[in-house]
Chains A and B, each alone.
Chain A
Amino acid sequence: MAGLSLKRAAVTAGRRSLGDREGLLAPLFLLPAVIYIFALVAVPFVLAIGFSFSDVTAGDPSFDWVGLDNYRAIFDDPVFWRSLRNTFVLTGVSMVLVVVLAKALALILVADFRGKWLVRLLVLLPWTTPISLAAVAWLWMLDSIFSPIDWVLRSLGLIESNTFWLGKPDLAMASVIAVQTWRIVPLAAVIIMAGLISLPKEVDDAARVDGAGFWRKLWEITIPLMLPVIAVAALFGAILTFTDMTVVYVLTRGGPNNATQVLSSWAYFKGIEGGSLAQGAAVALFLFPLLLAAAIAILRLVRRMRVS
């Protein structure tokens, strides 16, 4: 019997197929991802750094070293500082709103009631819409003459004349924040919902038996246990908001008078529309340290979730 199995082992070893050769398969399967990351992430990133120390423009692509001139120029530009501040305000305020709304929506998503599929569909719909189309729709919603929001408010007798949502600096910023929040909430709600579902059922039962009502349970048990998940949702949302220029570009083009200009839109206007690739690259690079910090924070949180 031992002889037989030995013989069989020898036979199969002779016919080792490609599927058995992990030493070869592993690099083969990794290659597309490596090429992708190198060609579409690493190269543009290095290029951007290079451009930011050069005088490259759309009209004159030849590379001349200018040192920190581009950085000096953008530091002297008040629009840059305005954009930087706006970026933080937009990201910060919309993430606070996103977390609160997404937490509430997540509770609705996990609840069991009649017609829950319709509610779930409606909650997820904003996320499935292409952001540029959604932003165009919002452009009409916030239009200075045809805004249905104004129409409703007027019918209710709350306003007398049109609001000019996108025409006044503060209202324009509020509008951009609202649309950005509207867009990120479904994603955050789904992430938080996944966290809610994975909470141990018995802990929730124990809290009920221990006499905790809805609010005590929410604040003392559910939210603390879900903090890592909520943080991941907020960080994902923050990255998407921080780097997004679609909403600003479609709604306000950074206006009125740069009141809603953010780093990414300002980089675009400078580098692509204005043709100054070098200065655009320098502006865009300011996104990097923050994105790096956010990415590290996410990776750490995910690891903590796995450990606990």
Chain B
Amino acid sequence: MPEPRRAGNGGGPEQRKAVVIEARGLKKHFEAGGEVFAVDGVDFATREGEYLVLLGPSGCGKTTLLRMLAGLEEPTEGEILIGGHVVNGLPPRARQIAMVFQSYALYPHKTVLQNIVFPLKAEKMDKKERRAKAQWAAELLGIGDLLNRKPRHLSGGERQRVALARALVRDPSVFLLDEPLSNLDAKLRTSARNELRMFQERLGTTTIYVTHDQVEAMGLGDRIAVMYEGKVRQMGPPEEVYEHPADTFVATFLGSPPMNLVDRGDHLLGFRPESLLPAELVPGDGSRTIMSLRVSRLEYLGGERHVHGIVSGIAGETLVIARLPAGVDTRVDPGETYEFAVQERDLRFFDGATGARTDPRPVRA
């Protein structure tokens, strides 16, 4: 498990105190044509200075959870603790948090500078001091020369930086980020992701980041909390949630293409597409599971090939996908049947009824 990254020991204005944010039995109940729990009993605690990603499909309650942490929504049940204090009922401004919204929510009638100093004005900081602070934040984010522009004259990436600068100036103890990259085009998103991560490492501020994009989640998070239908299904470092999914939802939500699941009556057998390879490439006679794969379709994706086919020999016929990296040049043709294999250690087992992870079962009948 990786240690949460902290800011360097350099001190200076960038040194933040890292704070723990905690949710206990958090529920949010909406009444929209029947009772709906948007968030249905969430417990978690961040570590100091941690980058925690809330990952889930749309409608899973991750944004509602974030808004409750921010104080924009009141929980129906449960407690929120920031730095050890219960903050339920406190307005956003009393919570020492800063939030970056999906749309950035810049004030369109204010210049970049006025946007950045707005939180400081609300704190009644004096004019010279807040100007200096805004300058510092703007320089840090590389938007020092845009201070007199209006948001509508900025590009998406620049707007995102202004939103970050506005969040940064008030020395929050927690950053809450709600899909801050989703309005950027794909090319910019990768570099913005790196910058976001480097930026947080430098500040060492505890950050909670909401996204539906698993690549962002895997790349950014110290830990990932996978949410579905208002509940956290699994929380752990990226490697753990990917390699050892707690249930079939996590198994199929993460990974592209998702984990193959083969129904074997009382349990499901799971293996990642990249673990399913032509048998001659999978060493170890005793520790591998061989299955025959009738190839139905082949997708050539440049760096890799996706082989769609129907496996038999381990259960009833099931459609699966194998992912062959560029180095594998075994000839595979649609319509033919080949021997494929998976290493025993790459097999995962899930309960047939609940979908939860279970102990390994013998694969051969």
Contact = CB atoms under 8 A, between A and B. Distances in A.
Interface stretch (B47-55, B91-99, B237-245): B91-99
A206 B93 CA distance: 10
Given A210-B166, A308-B152, A205 B105 contact: yes
Nearest to A204: B105
Nearest to B72: A205
A220 B107 CA distance: 9
Nearest to A203: B105
Nearest to B178: A202
Interface in A264-308: 308
B255 interface: no
Contact of B108 (A211, A216, A220, A308): A308
Nearest to A217: B122
Contacts of A212: 93, 118, 122
A148 interface: no
A200 B122 contact: no
B70 interface: yes
Nearest to A220: B118
Nearest to A224: B109
B103 A210 contact: no
B70 A209 contact: yes
B108 A209 contact: no
Interface in B50-107: 67, 70-72, 91-93, 97-99, 101-103, 105-107
A43 interface: no
Given A203-B107, A308-B108, A210 B72 contact: no
A203 B123 CA distance: 18
A108 interface: no
B93 A202 contact: no
A225 B92 contact: no
Interface string A181-213: 000000000000000000010110111111111
A96 to B, nearest CB: 22
Contacts of B99: 205-206, 209
B122 A206 contact: no
B102 A210 contact: no
A181 to B, nearest CB: 28
B170 interface: yes
B236 interface: no
B119 interface: yes
Contacts, number: 66
A35 interface: no
A145 interface: no
B105 A206 contact: yes
A225 B108 contact: yes
A225 B108 CA distance: 8
**Chain A interface mostly helix, strand, loop or mixed?**
helix
B118 A209 contact: no
Contacts of A200: 103, 105
A201 B31 CA distance: 20
A209 B103 contact: no
B215 to A, nearest CB: 24
Interface in A215-233: 216, 220-221, 224-225
A209 B108 CA distance: 17
Q: Which residue, A200, A206, A211, A213, has most C-beta atoms of chain B within 10 A?
A: A206
Given A211-B170, A225-B108, A308-B108, A205 B101 contact: yes
A260 B110 CA distance: 43
A225 B71 CA distance: 24
B70 A211 contact: no
A128 to B, nearest CB: 31
B109 A225 contact: yes
A221 B107 contact: yes
A211 B101 contact: no
A200 B67 CA distance: 16
Interface string A49-78: 000000000000000000000000000000
Contacts of A203: 105-108
A200 B106 CA distance: 10
Q: Which residue, A202, A207, A210, A211, has most C-beta atoms of chain B within 10 A?
A: A210
A206 B103 CA distance: 10
Contacts of A208: 71-72, 91-93
A208 B97 CA distance: 11
Contact of A209 (B97, B123, B152): B97
A48 to B, nearest CB: 42
Contacts of A206: 99, 101, 105-107, 166
A210 B118 contact: yes
Contact of A211 (B72, B102, B122): B122
A301 B121 CA distance: 30
B97 A210 contact: no
28 contacts: A200-B103, A200-B105, A202-B102, A202-B105, A203-B105, A203-B106, A205-B70, A205-B99, A206-B101, A206-B107, A206-B166, A208-B71, A208-B93, A209-B97, A210-B93, A210-B122, A210-B166, A211-B93, A211-B119, A211-B122, A211-B123, A211-B170, A213-B93, A213-B122, A220-B118, A220-B121, A225-B108, A308-B152
Interface of A: 200, 202-203, 205-213, 216, 220-221, 224-225, 308
Given A205-B105, A206-B101, A221-B107, 19 more contacts: A200-B105, A202-B102, A202-B103, A203-B106, A205-B99, A205-B101, A206-B99, A206-B166, A207-B107, A208-B91, A209-B70, A210-B166, A211-B92, A211-B93, A211-B123, A216-B121, A220-B118, A225-B108, A225-B109
Interface of B: 67, 70-72, 91-93, 97-99, 101-103, 105-109, 118-119, 121-123, 152, 166, 170
Which are the 7 A-B pairs with shortest beta-carbon distances?
Answer: A211-B93, A211-B122, A206-B105, A202-B105, A210-B119, A209-B92, A202-B101
